[in-house]
Amino acid sequence: ELKVEQNPLFLSMQEGKNYTIYCNYSTTSDRLYWYRQDPGKSLESLFVLLSNGAVKQEGRLMASLDTKARLSTLHITAAVHDLSATYFCAVDRGATNKLIFGTGTLLAVQP
């Protein structure tokens, strides 16, 4: 059974600081997704990583994928309050591409 784990589950950080969220998954997959969710809202797609070594950046967020280690990272550079949200990684599974989500990381950026 595919399991997707994130750490940390909760991250409180100060504005201007850097930090990394880790996403580990238990079985082989070449595709990894990162989503952002504000409280009570929908899932906003941040990154789609399609191959080993893929790296994507958007603003203060950068995501990477190492399929051999079954690990993806979401790096936050110089955090700002607007980045406060819950971040989920997800792996698609099987021919139908259903998503298996990680446990989520609640990020709180303090002024």
Partner 1 sequence: AAGVIQSPRHLIKEKRETATLKCYPIPRHDTVYWYQQGPGQDPQFLISFYEKMQSDKGSIPDRFSAQQFSDYHSELNMSSLELGDSALYFCASSFGTSPYEQYFGPGTRLTVT
Of the pair 6, 61, the CB lying nearest partner 1 is at: 6
Please list every residue from 28 through 57 that binds partner 1, using CB under 8 A. Answer: 31, 33, 35, 40-45, 48, 50
> How big is the site for partner 1, counted in residues (CB under 8 A)?
24
Q: Using the rule CB under 8 A, is 97 a contact of partner 1?
A: yes
Q: Both tokens of residue 52?
A: 């080993």
69 makes contact with partner 1 (CB under 8 A): no
Let me know how long the chain is. 111
- Residue the block writes with tokens 């989920």: 88
- The least distance separating partner 1 from the CB of residue 53, rounded to whole angstroms, comes to 16
Cβ–Cβ < 8 Å for 29, 43: no
What residue type is 15 in one-letter code? E
Going by their DSSP bridges, the two strands 10-14 and 105-110 should be labelled as parallel
Does the footprint of partner 1 cover residue 8 (CB under 8 A)? Answer: no
Q: CA 79 from chain center: how many Å?
A: 15
| Contact footprint for partner 1 (CB under 8 A) | 31, 33, 35, 40-45, 48, 50, 88, 92, 94-104
